[in-house]
């Protein structure tokens, strides 16, 4: 379907949509902000801690019960699962805590639930001398190894890599009238083409082994994206209990508005057939490797991000979703400045992992308010790109 076209069935009606976030948090000592990892964290103690958090009567819609957990809760202990010889889970070497929000009707409600659940988690962690930091790769951990916990080699390598990474997953279910129109093969090719560039907007893990991550003679933007790109997909389709699309690859961010915008960018890839770019899985892996190092500095990245951002604007208008975060992402693209650059600046000034982590504590802003489109941002951007490429959307401002 062409997203710009009006469909009388929509009527800006959000009924039938479902949105949920799974977000992983690095744990730190509350006073010193020294990072914690599996050497310091104990699975049984962390599980008891999160199970003591009262979030009733918050819904558990869309949840399943994870191995070694006692209920379908909003908090999971994430890390490397140790199995027996038959690959049956025995315990977990914790890397941190995951928050799961229930399925709700619009993205901004899911983001609000994430904020609430994080506040409850932090309140309980502080009582035990811990806190959270929002970063996408463990800043001192490196080269984790453990016995295989899957029969498939690629799954095992993904599990090893993920033990040092932290990310958000964006779960989207569609009304049946839309879900049935999705061509999964075409969707995979579209995601392969656009998603690596869109991920560039979120890059935020430039620390490794207690220092800045250096590669190819420069400081890289995201060791997480660089390492996970070899093993992990950018999205996954769940068919049970009903079809759900899980978008992976975005990095953790302190900005609540970013999470809303990432939902819109993902929806655009799902629903907008006018995004005609196609790429293979191999090309996706290659692109992610480049992007993890250079971020938004690559010209092809700018073009693809622009196309998906404009589609996200139309998605928000068509279905009446809040467009929070899109202004910031337009500015980020124009400035070629990603969240990793701010982390690099803090670390360069402080030369301290704990002080850098202290700057990455908590969400901003405190309140989620509707955000209008700032036309001057796009006018400025169009003036710059019109000199480089005629392939960008020609009428970003004319809707």
The pLDDT tens digits of the residues spanning 224-242 come to 999 999 999 999 999 988 8
Split at pLDDT 50, 70, 90, the class of 396 is very low
Residue 376 domain flag: yes
> What is the model's pLDDT at position 398?
30
> What is the model's pLDDT at position 22?
97
pLDDT in tens, 254-263: 999 999 999 9
Residue 176 domain flag: yes
Residue 93 pLDDT > 90: yes
Query: 96 lies in which domain range?
Result: 18-62+71-385
Q: Which of 370, 373, 372, 374 is nearest to 108 (CA)?
A: 370
> What is the model's pLDDT at position 57?
83
Q: Which of 63, 62, 168, 65 is nearest to 115 (CA)?
A: 168
Distances (CA, A) of 395 to 105, 185, 390: 30, 29, 12
Q: What CA–CA distance (Å, rounded) separates 197 from 220?
A: 15
CATH number of 32's domain:
3.30.590.20
Residue 391 pLDDT > 80: no
Compute, in degrees rounded to 10, the torsion defined by CA atoms 259, 19, 156, 42: 70
Note whether 68 and 44 are within 8 A (CB).
Answer: no
Split at pLDDT 50, 70, 90, the class of 373 is low
For 334, the token pair is: 């124009």
Residue 11 pLDDT > 90: no
Residue 380 pLDDT > 60: no
> What is the model's pLDDT at position 388?
38
Residue 204 pLDDT > 90: yes
What is the number of structural domains in the chain?
1
DSSP at 29: E
Residue 299 pLDDT > 50: yes
Contacts of 71 (CB under 8 A, 6+ apart): 51, 65
Residue 334 pLDDT > 70: yes
When mean pLDDT is compared across 18-27, 273-282, 314-323, 385-394, the lowest value belongs to: 385-394
Note whether 248 and 232 are within 8 A (CB).
Answer: yes
Q: Treating both helix axes as pointing N-terminal to C-terminal, what angle do 281-294 and 184-199 enclose, rounded to 10 degrees?
A: 10
Residue 4 domain flag: no
Residue 68 pLDDT > 90: yes
φ, ψ at 117 (rounded to 5°):
-65, -35
Within 13 A of 123's CA, how many CA atoms are on the CB side?
A: 10
Residue 375 domain flag: yes
Residue 91 domain flag: yes
When mean pLDDT is compared across 50-54, 162-166, 170-174, 365-369, the lowest value belongs to: 365-369
> What is the model's pLDDT at position 287?
97
Residue 156 domain flag: yes
Between 170 and 368, the higher pLDDT residue: 170
Residue 8 pLDDT > 50: no
Residue 1 domain flag: no
Residue 243 DSSP SS3: coil
> What is the model's pLDDT at position 143?
86
As a whole number, mean pLDDT of residues 56-82 equals: 91
Strands 211-212 and 130-133: unpaired
Residue 6 domain flag: no
pTM metric for this prediction: 0.90
Q: Work out the percent of the chain whose per-residue pLDDT is above 90.
A: 82
> What is the model's pLDDT at position 223?
98
């Amino acid at each position: 379907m062409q997203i710009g076209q009006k469909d009388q069935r929509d009527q800006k009606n959000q009924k039938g949509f479902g949105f949920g976030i799974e977000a992983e948090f690095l744990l730190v000592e509350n006073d010193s902000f020294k990072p914690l990892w599996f050497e310091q964290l104990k699975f049984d103690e962390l599980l008891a801690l999160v199970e003591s958090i009262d979030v009733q009567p918050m819904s558990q819609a869309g949840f399943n019960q994870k191995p070694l957990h006692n209920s379908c809760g909003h908090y999971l202990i994430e890390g490397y699962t140790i199995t027996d010889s038959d690959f049956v889970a025995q315990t977990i070497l914790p890397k941190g805590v995951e928050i799961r929000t229930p399925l709700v009707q619009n993205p901004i409600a899911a983001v609000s639930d994430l904020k609430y659940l994080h506040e409850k988690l932090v309140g309980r962690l502080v009582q035990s001398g811990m806190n959270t930091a929002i970063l996408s790769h463990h800043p001192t951990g490196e080269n984790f190894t453990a016995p295989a916990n899957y029969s498939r080699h690629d799954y095992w390598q993904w599990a090893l890599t993920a033990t040092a990474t932290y990310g958000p997953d964006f779960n989207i279910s569609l009304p049946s009238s839309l879900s049935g129109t999705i061509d999964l093969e075409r969707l995979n090719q579209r995601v392969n083409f656009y998603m690596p560039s869109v991920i560039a907007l979120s890059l935020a893990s430039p620390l490794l082994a207690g220092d800045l991550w250096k590669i190819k003679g420069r400081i890289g933007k995201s060791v997480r994206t660089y390492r996970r790109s070899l093993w992990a997909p950018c999205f996954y389709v769940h068919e049970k209990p009903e079809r759900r699309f899980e978008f992976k690859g975005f990095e953790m961010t302190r900005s609540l508005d970013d999470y809303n915008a990432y939902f819109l960018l993902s929806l655009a890839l799902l629903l907008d057939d006018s995004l005609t770019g196609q790429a293979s899985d191999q090309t996706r892996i290659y692109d992610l490797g480049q992007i993890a190092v250079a971020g938004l500095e690559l010209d092809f990245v700018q073009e693809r991000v622009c196309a998906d951002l404009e589609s996200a604007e139309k998605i928000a208008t068509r279905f009446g979703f809040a467009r929070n975060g899109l202004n910031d992402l337009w500015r980020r693209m124009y400035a070629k400045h990603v969240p990793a650059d701010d982390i690099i600046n803090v670390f360069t000034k402080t030369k301290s992992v704990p002080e850098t982590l202290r700057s990455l504590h908590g969400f901003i802003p405190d309140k989620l308010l509707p955000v209008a489109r700032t036309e001057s941002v796009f006018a400025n951007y169009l003036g710059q790109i019109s000199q480089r490429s005629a392939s960008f959307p020609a009428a970003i401002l004319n809707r």
